[in-house]
Structure 1
Amino acid sequence: MSKAWWTYLVTGVAVFMVAMDNLVVTNALPVIRLDLGTGLEGLEWTVNAYTLTFAVFLLTGAALGDRFGRRRLLAAGLAVFTAASAAAALSTDIGVLVAARTVQGLGGAVVMPLTLTLLASVVPPAKRGLAFGLWGAMSGLGVALGPVIGGAITEYASWEWIFWINVPVGLMLLPLVALVRDSRGGAGRLDLIGTALVTAGLFGIVYGLVQGNGHGWTSGPVLAGLAVGGVLLVAFIAWQARASAPMMPLAMFASRGFTLSNVIGLLMSFGMFGTVFLLAQFMQGVQHYSPLEAGVRTLPWTAMPALAAPVAGILTDRIGAARIVAVGLTLQAAGIGWLAAITSPTLPYSHMIVPFVLAGLGMGLFFAPITRLVLGFVPAHLEGVASGTSNAIRQLGTVLGIAVLGAIFSAQGGYASGQQFVDGVAPAATVGAVVLAAGAVVALAIPRPRTEVAPVAAEDRRVPVSAAV
């Protein structure tokens, strides 16, 4: 096999493993809540500890890969991810589990953007639609099988084994990384000040959102977290404007297409994954399905991305990415809105299948085209930075979606009864659907990227080289 084929194989399996861990924990959350004696706040941090560090360090991982070699950093990220998975499996209380998930997110943050940029380095731009579609299919397959695998393992073994399964996969991939074609980019020096500012800022905001309902929105710690976090994020943007080697070159956002593509990525993750966090618990806590039964019954939703992503990649090459993204977000909004309207403690499963399919099909039509859009509005030497930025913003959307929709759920409902859970999940899912619909409207304003039409407007085609040095 050539290095190009090894690159396809290793990046595909790696992105599958990292994507699976985004949702593998969802059907184990009710069991973890009882086993470790935690509540909604602990469950939110079990998810957010992973997604927060994932979001923050995606940019750092991409920058390190550009400077020191993407293959080397991919191996390092896989090693950290594998070791942290073992630590999560050995957790005996919620604090240890959250700490392990934090480190696991760090490893995943290095792996995810490098799988995309390594793949892009072996695929000609004209053929990237299909390649990114296959990459999206592997990511979608991880999302699809995550709840099922997590549910089956939780039911027939224990929740700890949802993390143990990463260990043999990671150990298998590590020696194969040496067969991948290496590449570098133009990210320049590591922006330590920017990394510190954005990390602290995001932590403050998420801390305030997660703690708000439990401690009161006017309590000192909550207000301090939100205020300090907001100030630090403003400081981060100001620093990026003047830093000699910014982790997120602001010049990229001079492109209307790049900016809108990232706004859409944030809105999609906010609306979709914030809703997934709650509906996964609805299947078990209200409808009393076992973890495996809940995972299997969500397959019409979670399996559709794996089926639709390759088709989306092909259609992107033919009719344009922005149109496919708009259709995908519309389908997601329709599916989530439908579920919000019909949810009740006695809702028959048969009534959930069609909205599940709509939401899943919409997800499958989203991932490959949005990746094509993001990389299509920057020059080749900034693809690593653009990939890291896009993935970071989407993960930030996931963090904020879980925190905000979780806050709406807590304010309107709770875990005391099935009806109280529905009272909370219905308005939260409605907000998620509205956010997804807003994303569909924004998608209509995206111009065609340089890889779809030539020539394009100068402001959408290039970013000043000075932004990366």
Structure 2
Amino acid sequence: MAPSVPAAPSTPSPGIRLASARGRWILLTTVLGSTMALLDSTVVNVALPRIGEDLDADLAVLQWTVNAYMLTLAGLILVGGALGDRFGRRRVFVIGTVWFAAGSLLCGLAPNAGVLIAARALQGVGGALLTPGSLALIQSSLHPDDRARAVGLWSGLGGVGAAVGPFLGGWLVDGPGWRWVFLINVPLAALCVPVALRYVPETRDPQATGRFDVLGATLGALSLGLVTYALIEAYSATGWVAGAAVAGVLLGVAFVLVERRRPNAMLPPSIFASRQFTAVNLVTLAVYAALGGFFFLAVLQLQVVSGYSALAAGAALLPTTVIMLLLSARAGELGERIGPRIPLTVGPLVCAAGMLLMMRAGPSASYGADVLPAMTVLGLGLATLVAPLTSAVLASVDPGRAGLASGINNAAARAAGLLAVAALPLLSGMGPEAYRTPAAFDAAFGWAMVWCAGLLVAGAVLAWATVRRPADLAGAAHPQCRVQCQVTAPPLEPPPDRRPESGA
């Protein structure tokens, strides 16, 4: 079953005013919830070299540390939104927060790589339950007149978390240790859950009926998991790896066939009848594959090859996020005026230039001369493309399917990043022990940046050839684009619904 638009709460809106004490508590708990998931996606990469050293792990373990989380999150995010609509958004949000915190605690206490990877997968399940509900709680709880301001505050406060995430991760790794990158989520959840239970009203969608597409979700997740395993373990060249690759492809075919026949499909093929929606999602795959691979490898490059500390490597990423926060809203307004085609063509090309500039970050790289220019150019490219991309996704379908379209686009972005983290080391000749040898890693990193730039150029060409101005770009400058369009994935929620609601 697909998630419905969060902005159309099922029960009459409680109409809680943001200026009231209860309204402020609602805003606080939604910010805490989204910040946990956002921090996790920005701080873990910084800790990877220290995790590998402490657990005596090879590159495959570092890939799985990232991908185990992304796999379950991408595979279940649509189900998480549907569960909230059916059983109550607050209930699923709280369950997801507790689940995420439990997974984080297990990550922080993991005695070996196997436990860490399993715990990361559990974290992803919690994230799939928690993340779709964060903005939905604002939309379904607060008075309609206050929602736009609340979303703006949610975006701004979340943006602070996004900006300090890599810096905080580096500080934790160099200070109390990499385990605190995960353990920090526990006190955040301990504050978030009681606030949600006490102050957030329960809402659900009475139209959310029918069976869940459990078969579709299972087939999709298994297909992604097996293909990811085959790519990460390809260097072993065993029969198991070949079998996993074949099985993953066959399960992917089965997923498509099942979704075409099920009335309650998680990924209904009819939504792809919009050529604009299909085109923008293909651009999303190219762009976020490049971004996922870049941010996985860049912090490793800075620490392994350039000799940066974890704190310095995390701080090196700050310019990209700051530029995103400052310019994304303006880029959204520009995209609304001129259409998405030019931003979705120019933005990836600028990002590609930034990634090629990052090849200068070799041994003893100077931050001002070698790293900062790359991060600045990358930030400008991202600020140019992310808000128009999201707007084009939402404008390419009927308003009633905005929640489904946003969820599919988000899942596509995360799946692209997942596959890129698995495939890039293989494509660039980065062996299992490469990150222990600076010279070998540096050489492979250069080829990886070429691959990433190539993906972005392909995305730009695709956008120029296929993307056209939709008839309705009403969702162009969403305030949430300033945060959720960061460097990890597009927004998880559609824009605030402007339809009148009962009880308002």
Question: TM-score range, shorter-chain basis?
Answer: 0.7 to 0.9
Between the aligned residues of both structures, percent identity stands at: 36
Instruction: Tell me the number of residue pairs that the alignment of Structure 1 and Structure 2 aligns.
Output: 450
The aligned counterpart of 2:77 is: 58
Q: Is structure 2 residue 231 aligned with structure 1 residue 209?
A: yes
Q: Is structure 2 residue 320 aligned with structure 1 residue 301?
A: yes
How far has the Cα of 1:119 moved from its partner? 5.3
**Paired letter, 2:451:** V
**Paired letter, 1:396:** A
Deviates more, 1:354-363 or 1:277-286: 354-363
Matches of 1:371 and 1:10, distance apart in 2:
25
Aligned 1:187-226 pairs, distance under 5 A? 188-213=210-235, 215-216=236-237, 219-226=238-245
Matches of 2:293 and 2:147, distance apart in 1:
30
Q: TM-score scaled to structure 1, two decimals? A: 0.87
Which residue among 82, 86, 94 is the counterpart of 1:67?
A: 86
Which residue among 397, 404, 407 is the counterpart of 1:378?
A: 397
Q: Is structure 2 residue 429 aligned with structure 1 residue 414?
A: no
8 Å contact kept, 2:307–2:364: no
Structure with the higher helix share, 1 or 2: 1
- In structure 2, do the counterparts of structure 1 residues 78 and 54 end up closer, same or farther at CA, with 3 Å as the change threshold? same
Aligned 1:90-239 pairs, distance under 5 A? 90-118=109-137, 141-178=160-197, 179-180=199-200, 182-184=203-205, 186=208, 188-213=210-235, 215-216=236-237, 219-239=238-258
Q: Is structure 2 residue 340 aligned with structure 1 residue 349?
A: no
Matches of 2:49 and 2:133, distance apart in 1:
33
**Paired letter, 1:385:** L
**Paired letter, 1:324:** P
How far has the Cα of 1:367 moved from its partner? 3.5
- In structure 2, do the counterparts of structure 1 residues 294 and 400 end up closer, same or farther at CA, with 3 Å as the change threshold? same
8 Å contact kept, 1:63–1:247: no
Q: Is structure 2 residue 289 aligned with structure 1 residue 270?
A: yes
**Paired letter, 2:473:** E
Matches of 1:123 and 1:447, distance apart in 2:
35
Which residue among 422, 438, 446 is the counterpart of 2:467?
A: 446
**Paired letter, 2:234:** G
8 Å contact kept, 2:306–2:362: no
Query: What do the CA deviations read for 1:15-71 (whole angstroms, capped 9, x no partner)?
Result: 232122112111111111111111101100001001111110111112212322333
Q: TM-score scaled to structure 2, two decimals? A: 0.81
Matches of 1:130 and 1:336, distance apart in 2:
36
The aligned counterpart of 1:2 is: 17
Q: What is the DSSP-based 3-state SS (H/G/I as helix, E as strand, rest coil) of the residue aligned with 1:345?
A: coil
Matches of 2:459 and 2:30, distance apart in 1:
29
The aligned counterpart of 1:34 is: 53
The aligned counterpart of 2:410 is: 391
Matches of 2:423 and 2:196, distance apart in 1:
38
CA RMSD of aligned residues (A): 3.0
The aligned counterpart of 1:25 is: 44
- In structure 2, do the counterparts of structure 1 residues 371 and 67 end up closer, same or farther at CA, with 3 Å as the change threshold? farther
**Paired letter, 1:345:** P
Matches of 1:226 and 1:146, distance apart in 2:
35
Matches of 1:105 and 1:324, distance apart in 2:
32
- In structure 2, do the counterparts of structure 1 residues 369 and 82 end up closer, same or farther at CA, with 3 Å as the change threshold? farther
Matches of 1:366 and 1:195, distance apart in 2:
30
**Paired letter, 1:422:** D
Matches of 1:49 and 1:297, distance apart in 2:
26
- In structure 2, do the counterparts of structure 1 residues 13 and 231 end up closer, same or farther at CA, with 3 Å as the change threshold? same
| Structure 1: runs of 5+ lacking an equivalent | 455-469
- In structure 2, do the counterparts of structure 1 residues 367 and 193 end up closer, same or farther at CA, with 3 Å as the change threshold? same
Q: Is structure 2 residue 36 aligned with structure 1 residue 14?
A: no
- In structure 2, do the counterparts of structure 1 residues 161 and 39 end up closer, same or farther at CA, with 3 Å as the change threshold? same
| Structure 2: runs of 5+ lacking an equivalent | 1-15, 476-504
The aligned counterpart of 2:448 is: 428
**Paired letter, 2:223:** G
Deviates more, 1:391-400 or 1:298-307: 298-307
